[in-house]
Homo-oligomer: A and B are copies of this chain.
Amino acid sequence: MPGHIVSSYDADLENLRRSISEMGGIAEKMVTEATDALVRRDATLAQAVIAADKRLDTLQHEIEERSVLLIAKRQPLAIDLRETISAIRVSGDLERIGDLAKNVAKRVVAISDQAVGQKIILGVQHMSDLAEGQLKDVLDAYGSRDVKAAQDVWERDGEIDALYNSLFRELLTYMMEDPRNISFCTHLLFCAKNVERIGDHTTNIAETIQYLATGETPTGDRPKNDASNYATVTPGQG
């Protein structure tokens, strides 16, 4: 942001942006690799995802500290203040996305030696591909401050929820067919739930981009399609 009298201030903001961008890259990679590990039941790759989360936590911690310090030292106003607040918010969401990907990876380790229906795993993969695409788009939108692109991401969150909803019913039916499916299907249920929540945090980032640009956070209801909280399935109706 050229035009500031204090040029080290621009450098501070630029550093924040760079750290957010590094966090975004790590989070994206973790989500992709957690899904790959699940599809291939690859415990080694899953362990790598679990290990990657440490760096994300460190970065978030640093960004938060540097943002607070920046507010205290530079007393930014208007757009610069929003830039700093947004950095805190986005780093928080990326840290949570990393946690969720790590949780998927832990469950891959748990089910890596079990016979698992590949069809049902492909359902989780499909959902995860969608979440990955959304995350990539929202990070691009954050980098280019593209409110329109952020709005598109925001509107598409309902697709992930709808997929989760149908997967939830499918997994329940699968469990009822054979009790030997229960253990890994439960883990897959939580994997799917984690991916759905990755979608929620992606939507949070889309809202932060709007706040960054306009100073307003969207207050309307999100386009939710998640009815799984209310869903029940009865044996024999599958």
A40 within 8 A of B: no
User: Is A7 interfacial (CB 8 A cutoff)?
Assistant: no
A118 at the interface (CB under 8 A from B): no
* One of A120-128, A150-158, A174-182 at the interface: A174-182
Q: How far is the CA of A231 from the CA of B180 in the complex (A)?
A: 15
For residue A6, CB closer than 8 A to chain B, the reply is: no
Copies in the complex: 2
Closest to A104 in B: B229
**B residues in contact with A232, CB < 8 Å:** 110-111, 114, 183-184, 187
Interface residues on A, range: 35 or more
Q: From known contacts A172-B186, A186-B172, A230-B106, infer whether A235 and B72 are also in contact, taking CB-CB under 8 Å.
A: no
Which residues of B have CB within 8 Å of A234?
180, 183
Q: Mark each residue of chain A from 172 to 216: 1 if its CB lies under 8 Å from any CB of chain B, else 0.
A: 100110011011101101100100000000000000000000000
Query: In chain A, residues 87-106, which have Cβ atoms closer than 8 Å to a Cβ of chain B?
Result: 92, 103, 106
Interface residues of A (CB under 8 A from B): 61, 68, 71-72, 75-78, 81-82, 85, 92, 103, 106-107, 109-111, 114, 172, 175-176, 179-180, 182-184, 186-187, 189-190, 193, 217, 219, 229-235
